[in-house]
Structure 1
Amino acid sequence: MDKELLEEQTPEVAEVRRGEIATVDRRLVLIMSTACAISVANLYYIQPLLANMGHEFAVSANEMGFIATLSQIGYACGLLFIIPLGDKYNQRTLIVGMLCAVTLALIGMASASSIVMVGVASFLVGVTTVVPQLIIPYSAHLAPPKARGQVVGTVMSGLLIGILLARTVSGIVANYLGWRSMYWIAAAMMILLAVAMRLLLPSDRAKKDTMSYPQLLRSLWDLVRDEPVLRETMLFGALAFAAFSVFWVSLSFFLETPPYHFGSEVAGLFGLVGVTGALAASFVGKFADRRDPRLANGMGLVIILVAFVLMWLTGQWLFGLVVGTILLDLGTQSNQISSQARVYSLQPAARNRLNTVYMFIYFVGGSIGSILGTFGWSIARWNGVCAVACLLILLALGFYALNSRNMRRHLMGSR
């Protein structure tokens, strides 16, 4: 990289490029982690609110599950059509623009007068809540290879904490102020975050990608075709997040039934329980940097399976449900961090597009999990929920075992 190019970049980026520090500035990592937490929460406020919203609009649990699914489908569309632009354009500008867009979608959600309008707004909230998926590959871009897993893990900690605390906050706000108030508050926070990101986030002006937008989109298939590691992590991520969504989309319905009879605020408080797993992210990232990240994938999947077996057997007791929730979030986070560490090591110039492909399939899995969760609940209540989730993880572990030899061959060939 020439001197002029370094001077065009921010001090943090230039310093990393010269190799003068071991990792990204900690303050910058904290800023990115916080932004991920606050912005990703928009996608998850809805989950503890499903029962309340269903009562207001007089619709069934299955119909409300479809509303939650629309936000996941919207998010997948945002990943597919917006995130690839991060390999071509200034990511700070994209981030601020998307924060303004999601503000409008949240206002639409708060003011919706019918279940149809809620569905449309839910989809648009999903489409525009892609800021974390611009920030995460940018953090990988800033980090040196030997610390990439740790940096991505720290930023991902913010993301998962945001996901979990979103449920807690929305459950409490809905209990005292009503579910619409949560979306008005979220819209105000997005305005503040847009201002903060414009002032605090470094600009990445040094991009020289000449691909057109259609070429960027066409190149996504080339990445899937050429990278077996990407294909494997896509499957692991989709199935793990599907199981994760099965649990969270059905939890508020489960807690309304005997022996619990809890409201939305308790369903939201379960997000606090999962923070334990989120805090392990940086340690998982260090493990992925120093050991085999694929092994961390397998360990994460096993932990998720154990979590659902435990909740299946002991879910009627609060202690069993709490321990299972901690294990579920720990396993999901372990799988996610190790998968992204593997993906971001493939092609540095295509990190946003690699992230697009991986996260698109990841959230398609989440959308399917939301549908399967409400379906399992409608068929066999909690037994159906746990059975569906266990089947998903067993499929992932089966592929892990069958594909191990191919991955060893690929690793040896790449050397």
Structure 2
Amino acid sequence: MDDKDNHVDLAQDTLIASGSMPVSLMSRKMAFLFAIACGLAVANIYYAQPLLDAISNEFGITHSSVGIVVTITQACYAIGLLLLVPLGDLLNRRWLIAGQMLVSVVALIVVGTAPNNIVLFIGIAAIGLLAVVTQTLVAFAATLAAPSERGRTVGVVTSGIVIGILLARTFAGILTDLAGWRSVYLVSALLTLIMACVLFRVLPHDERSKESLSYLQLLRSLLTLFAQERILRIRAALCLMIFTAFSILWTSLVLPLSTPPLSLSHTAIGAFGLAGVTGALAAARAGRLADRGLGQRTTGVALILLLISWLPISYTQHSLLALIIGIVLLDLAVQAVHVTNQSMILPLVPEARSRLTAGYMIFYSIGSATGSIASTSVYAYTGWNGVCLLGAIVSASALLFWALTRRLK
């Protein structure tokens, strides 16, 4: 690790001396800009969750099958992680980031004007594919940050992603009540266009040496990284489980909240995302703990909280306060483990950070897609208690897996 960090420091010093990298490149202001861009981009694939009932009604999709909307998005997100994110190790990231966001604008307009469910699915698939720009931004931020600040920087940027996921529900709920669900995607298209222009203007020129691999060799090297790096394998498995649990809650939560006896509006349902933001912000410092060598301890405590969170969540139909407590605990736990995971894997192979991010996040996408389709199916047959039991089982499995692997170096 020391040799790798020294190599990164030397590379950064060279860029600073040549004028390619300003000393203040990853200031707090720049890190927050990265976080905002990530949050805006990732929100595009989560707007549909609080809108599932509205989409179901307009396009005639049953409640037991409407989870396929989220599953398509997550499946295409996984494809994008595999095919697009590794390009960050091969191409100029400044152009790659701005270009993907501009094409996302087109996809958002397609969804916002979709005349039937086929066009809707095509647009949703494109949104999922292109939303992986968030991971290119994370890898770029980790590369620009000094080794001593990498955990903090990853924590800030990753917090932007989780907060974007959660605020997407609030944003979508309010706009849907005001102007219908289609307005969510059209407004997002405008915001994404603005952010693409801002990023192209302020992102530093990517002057680092690119990999000499071909595109196919670049993709094959993902398998090599998994074969070589045990930490990557372990942390990817944990990622799959925590985001399965995360998606189990957030995909199906709209169903009990929008039906009797609660029958909440889209604005009220979306507001529960604000409770999740509290937990995400509280976990933002997890990267600092990983920098101090406390990654395993942070992971263990967070996974215990994740398991506990399902008890108050199970009382949703009887107490909204209990639901809020459960949401804060769950999002605190998921964010803490996620930030710790990335802080531990990104330093492994500095020249392959985009590929490390892609490989790790593929498991995130698989977990999210699995949780989405499983939760709506379970809800249709066993109700909210069955969903909570499923979430608790997945959380307990993650805790057990961590306990069995925590001593592996």
Q: 1:197 aligns with which of 196, 199, 204?
A: 199
CA–CA distance in structure 1, aligned partners of residues 14 and 361 of structure 2: 34
CA–CA distance in structure 1, aligned partners of residues 297 and 84 of structure 2: 32
Q: 1:207 aligns with which of 191, 206, 209?
A: 209
Q: Is the 8 A contact 2:48 2:69 kept in 1?
A: no
Matching residue of 1:118: 120
Aligned partner of residue 314 in structure 2, secondary structure: helix
Question: Identical aligned pairs, as a percentage?
Answer: 37
Q: Is the 8 A contact 1:89 1:207 kept in 2?
A: no
CA–CA distance in structure 2, aligned partners of residues 294 and 229 of structure 1: 11
- The number of residue pairs the alignment matches comes to 399
- Runs of 4+ deviating beyond 4 Å: 1-9
Matching residue of 1:278: 280
Q: Is the 8 A contact 2:50 2:172 kept in 1?
A: yes
Q: Is the 8 A contact 1:65 1:371 kept in 2?
A: yes
Q: 1:303 aligns with which of 302, 305, 329?
A: 305
- Offset of 1:258 from its aligned partner? 3.1
Matching residue of 1:413: none
- Offset of 1:345 from its aligned partner? 1.9
Quick check: 1:366 aligned with 2:376?
no
The one-letter amino acid paired with 1:11 is M
When residues 4 and 300 of structure 1 are mapped into structure 2, their CA distance, relative to the original with a 3 A threshold, is closer
Write the mapping of 1:197-346 to structure 2, written as runs, cut at 5 A.
Answer: 197-313=199-315, 315-346=317-348
Higher helix fraction (1 or 2): 1
Spell out, residue by residue over 1:220-272, the C-alpha distance to the aligned partner (whole angstroms, 9 max, x if none). Answer: 00011111100111111111001100111111111023331112222211111
CA–CA distance in structure 2, aligned partners of residues 372 and 356 of structure 1: 24
Q: Is the 8 A contact 1:164 1:272 kept in 2?
A: yes
The one-letter amino acid paired with 2:372 is S
When residues 176 and 38 of structure 1 are mapped into structure 2, their CA distance, relative to the original with a 3 A threshold, is same
Q: 1:72 aligns with which of 66, 71, 74?
A: 74
Quick check: 1:399 aligned with 2:409?
no
Q: Is the 8 A contact 2:94 2:203 kept in 1?
A: yes
The one-letter amino acid paired with 2:20 is T
Q: Is the 8 A contact 1:9 1:206 kept in 2?
A: no
When residues 156 and 281 of structure 1 are mapped into structure 2, their CA distance, relative to the original with a 3 A threshold, is farther
CA–CA distance in structure 2, aligned partners of residues 70 and 350 of structure 1: 28
The one-letter amino acid paired with 1:358 is Y
Deviates more, 1:276-285 or 1:371-380: 276-285
TM-score (norm 1): 0.93
Write the mapping of 1:93-112 to structure 2, written as runs, cut at 5 A.
Answer: 93-112=95-114
TM-score (norm 2): 0.94
The one-letter amino acid paired with 1:357 is G
Matching residue of 1:384: 386
Q: Is the 8 A contact 2:141 2:153 kept in 1?
A: yes
Matching residue of 1:167: 169
Spell out, residue by residue over 1:193-243, the C-alpha distance to the aligned partner (whole angstroms, 9 max, x if none). Answer: 111011111121222311110000000000111111001111111110011
Quick check: 1:351 aligned with 2:361?
no
Q: 1:134 aligns with which of 130, 133, 136?
A: 136
Q: Is the 8 A contact 1:136 1:155 kept in 2?
A: yes
Matching residue of 1:92: 94
CA–CA distance in structure 1, aligned partners of residues 330 and 195 of structure 2: 30
Spell out, residue by residue over 1:2-53, the C-alpha distance to the aligned partner (whole angstroms, 9 max, x if none). Answer: 88754556333xx38xxxxxx9312211211111111111111111111111
Spell out, residue by residue over 1:305-334, the C-alpha distance to the aligned partner (whole angstroms, 9 max, x if none). Answer: 111122124652111011111111111100
Quick check: 1:150 aligned with 2:160?
no
Quick check: 1:11 aligned with 2:13?
no
Q: Is the 8 A contact 2:296 2:406 kept in 1?
A: no
